[in-house]
Structure 1
Amino acid sequence: MSMTEEGKKVLAVLDEKKIPYECMEHEPVYTVEEIQERNLWHHKDGIGAKNLFLRDGSGKRHFLVVVRDDKQADLKQVRAEIKSSRLSFASEERLERYLHVSPGSVSPLGILNDTECMVEVFFDQDLKQYSYMAVHPNDNRATLWMKTEDLVKIIKEHGNSFAWIRI
């Protein structure tokens, strides 16, 4: 199975910035459940995460909320934490427009495609306790293990707003 051009682009950016990662290619996965069934998220100091691409009630603000894979995100609580109006999941069209990915490939690394830095990124505070996170390189046929601090650094360096929140 070969990685998509989008995935290769992400790896090139990480290599250029000298950000270390471990890459594992696999059959496409679309949900956390599929990833767990295939046993793809095993790392002694790491955790997988769910990526929720949300929009506010007016559709003017967009958010990428990242939570532990085993955690349910209460959108009312998220809304209060990020100081937003009503939240809902953004459409496939918005996902493509802002992050240039399709459902099943959502990743914090999609931020690299957000050229206008319109998407606000929020990580659940629980993720701070893990040294590594599993993320897609904008391609659901591969999983990268990266240091959590490197992932946060690349988001901030790109120019998107970033904050830790309690979910």
Structure 2
Amino acid sequence: MNAFSPDQSSLPFSSDELLEVLRGWGLEYDLYSHCPLKTVEDAKMIEPTTFRDGKAVLRIKNLYLRDKKKRNYLVTLEQDRVIDLKDFGAKLKVGNLSFGSPGRLLEFLGVRPGAVTPLAMINGSRHGVRFFMDDALLLADWIYMHPLVNDRTIAMKRADVLTFFERINAKPEWI
């Protein structure tokens, strides 16, 4: 299976269901359909500029990590930010961190590789995934992210993204 819209019915929570939840909660977004984007480099090739209507846009990258005690972490960063996993694990006092397997990614966040997104916390918050978010989000007016599949991107206002996190009881730890 791929991380594309045609395969979304195999996810615990589909992209279409997520978009319906956002609409039902009155959270606004603009939806873009495009070829699958698996990496930051892919996204840089097609995504719009860093400003939207004169407002700052945050493009992100997302890491699904695990520690030796099998605890799960989602780390959302500004797309060009560099993170040293060893230092990050030491800072969190959890030891060495590594990337989680595709199977665990699907089990704990409900997405496939290439579609990791903070919106996956709609699944992750129920599975005890610890969520870290770059404090650059607090300065952005708009955030671009995948809605659980990697052939779609949504643009949401920062306030709506934060409201979404509140609604699903996902409390980001700011880094």
Instruction: Specify whether residues 86 and 2 from structure 1 end up closer, same or farther in structure 2 by C-alpha distance, changes over 3 A only.
Output: closer
- Match of residue 78 from structure 1: 88
Stretches of structure 2 lacking an aligned partner (at least 5 in a row): none
Report SS of the residue matched to 1:33.
helix
Q: Matched residues in 2 for 1:138 and 1:91: separation?
A: 17
TM-score of the superposed pair, with normalisation by structure 1: 0.88
Among 24, 46, 50, the residue aligned to 2:61: 50
Q: Matched residues in 1 for 2:35 and 2:150: separation?
A: 8
State the one-letter code of the partner of 2:144: A
- Spell out, residue by residue over 1:3-40, the C-alpha distance to the aligned partner (whole angstroms, 9 max, x if none): 645211110010011101111111111111011122x1
Q: Matched residues in 2 for 1:81 and 1:18: separation?
A: 37
How big is the shift at 1:150? Answer: 2.2
Q: Matched residues in 2 for 1:79 and 1:110: separation?
A: 22
> How many correspondences in the alignment?
163
- Match of residue 11 from structure 1: 19
Report SS of the residue matched to 1:55.
strand
State the one-letter code of the partner of 2:93: K
TM-score of the superposed pair, with normalisation by structure 2: 0.84
Stretches of structure 1 lacking an aligned partner (at least 5 in a row): none
- Spell out, residue by residue over 1:46-94, the C-alpha distance to the aligned partner (whole angstroms, 9 max, x if none): 12100000011221x1110011111111113322443322111111011
- Match of residue 142 from structure 2: 132
Instruction: Specify whether residues 17 and 43 from structure 1 end up closer, same or farther in structure 2 by C-alpha distance, changes over 3 A only.
Output: farther
Q: Matched residues in 2 for 1:148 and 1:74: separation?
A: 26
> What root-mean-square deviation, in Å, do the aligned CA atoms of Structure 1 and Structure 2 show?
1.9
